[in-house]
Structure 1
Amino acid sequence: MPAPKNAFKARLQAGLPQIGLWLNMAEPLPAEIAGHAGFDWLVIDGEHGPNDLRSIMAQLQALSSSSSEAVVRPPMGETWMIKQLLDIGARTLLVPMVDSAEQAKALVDAVRYPPEGKRGVGAAVARASAFNAIADYTDTAADEICLLVQAETMAAIDDIERIAEVEGVDGIFIGPADLSADMGFRGQIGAPQVQDVIENAIRRIVAAGKPAGILTFDE
């Protein structure tokens, strides 16, 4: 039996728009409620939200009956963090502060089992494989894992084409708050200079053949 299909990843690859919401309360009940509100995806935020591994797992469990895809954002793109998140059942990751194609490639390695990558092989005791009930999990997991990276600095913007070209990166999400601060416009996301950079980056990401994401207050 293969890993369960990631419908969010399939829709993303088909070029369909996906609208979602941030979850920052670190509690399963609000996550479960949001999971029935009709969003395409919901971010469980481990970077700025007060989450730990257990609270993230509880929210993944709360969203297991929802059609909304749980997108987990780790505090940073460390291989050991990613290994733990994947093992507890995360399959779509949003990794912050990815500044280069080299960083992006290292993240791809982190979500894939050897010999293709460096993910630790512990599926027999992992929630992701239903504790080994999904017999073909290690052979099929990579097909259903969705890796999204965040471009949040001018270094990332300058390298955006190379990041987009990394095989295994499924999309690039612009982080406007950190980007505006890096540009010298902290707290001024709407500054014309910031908006010009964001719009240009989105065009370049799409031209490179990858989906682009952004925070917005209006559809």
Structure 2
Amino acid sequence: MKTPVNTFKQALQNQQVQIGLWVDLADGLCAELVAGIGYDWLLLDGEHGPSDLRTMLAQLQGVSSAQGSIPGLATHPIARVPMGEVAIIKQFLDLGVQTLLVPMVDTAEQAAQMVRAMRYPPDGIRGMGSSVARSSRWQGYPNYIQEANEQVCLLVQAETVEAMRNLDAIAATPGVDGVFIGPADLSASMGFPGNPDHHEVQVAIADSIARILKVGKAPGIIATTEEQARKWLAAGALFVAVGVDTMLLSDAARNLLSRFKSSAPKSSAGGY
């Protein structure tokens, strides 16, 4: 069998907009449920969600189960690693993840190191352990180590003032497929913690999307309101998360309770 084609990476290269959902509940059953909805991609969060390798594996298996049971479903799982470290990236890739989101990448040098961590030698420094790993389906993909480098997809997060200064070089780094703008951390770095809707932050985000597109890479972002999502899609963002599982659940639960108890707290959308 041939190593599966990374359809998400292919879509970004073809400048096809990809609509996603953030998944922070770190549960395989929840991942399976939302994977069957029809989003183009799901972000399985290993940075702020309580995911470890075992729960990440369960979520990947949940997504695969949904894909196998629903004809035509092509939801792509993306894993966010807790930090940009070579050993962690190796472990996530060996789980079978093809696309990784790496937080807090502030320089082109950091981005280049993440590119190397994603690839087998001679193009990179990824450790050779796929023969015992889910990534190769335990050698079910006999040419995995020859094919994997073409199918991995690296998304890096630019979410600080320093990253904004270095954004052009970060985005232009060979092997970086997309740059994700983190509104919450960026707003804090700019001096407006908890206020990603601040005018200066919004201007910086719009400028960042344009700069990423200018160097031929895919810009991405998360939005927790429809207004924001449509704004960034119109600005040219190619992969946009339009919601978060925890917020969807808590908002729906609050709204339901408010129909029966007048004292129930009301939901409120916020930045992420």
Asked if Structure 1 and Structure 2 have the same fold, meaning a TM-score greater than 0.5 normalized by the shorter chain, the answer is yes
Task: Say whether residues 1:200 and 2:207 are aligned partners.
Answer: yes
Deviations 1:180-212 (A, max 9, x none): 000000001000011111111111001111010
Q: Which of 146, 158, 176 is the aligned partner of 1:151?
A: 158
- TM (norm. structure 1) is 0.98
In the alignment, what sits opposite 2:253?
none
- How much does 1:2 deviate? 3.0
One-letter amino acid matched to 2:3: A
CA distance in 2, matches of 1:153, 1:44: 22
Task: Say whether residues 1:91 and 2:95 are aligned partners.
Answer: no
CA distance in 2, matches of 1:13, 1:115: 24
In the alignment, what sits opposite 1:80?
87
- TM (norm. structure 2) is 0.79
- How much does 1:169 deviate? 0.4
Task: Say whether residues 1:111 and 2:118 are aligned partners.
Answer: yes
Task: Say whether residues 1:71 and 2:78 are aligned partners.
Answer: yes
- For 1:1-219, list aligned pairs within 5 A: 1-65=1-65, 66=67, 67-216=74-223, 217-218=225-226, 219=230
CA distance in 2, matches of 1:84, 1:130: 15
Deviations 1:135-154 (A, max 9, x none): 10000101111100000001
- How much does 1:170 deviate? 0.4
- How much does 1:64 deviate? 1.1
Deviations 1:72-104 (A, max 9, x none): 001101000000000011111010000010000
One-letter amino acid matched to 2:46: G
Percent identity over the alignment?
51
CA distance in 2, matches of 1:92, 1:37: 20
Moved over 6 A (4+): none
Structure 2 residue runs of 5 or longer lacking an equivalent are 68-73, 231-272
Higher helix share: 2
CA distance in 2, matches of 1:139, 1:37: 33
CA distance in 2, matches of 1:114, 1:2: 20
Deviations 1:6-39 (A, max 9, x none): 1111011100101100111110011001001110
CA distance in 1, matches of 2:76, 2:107: 26
CA distance in 2, matches of 1:123, 1:183: 42
CA distance in 1, matches of 2:175, 2:61: 26
CA distance in 2, matches of 1:116, 1:12: 22
Q: Secondary structure at the match of 1:57?
A: helix
One-letter amino acid matched to 1:94: L
Alignment length, in residue pairs? 219
Q: Secondary structure at the match of 1:214?
A: strand
One-letter amino acid matched to 1:3: T
One-letter amino acid matched to 2:23: L
CA root-mean-square deviation: 0.8
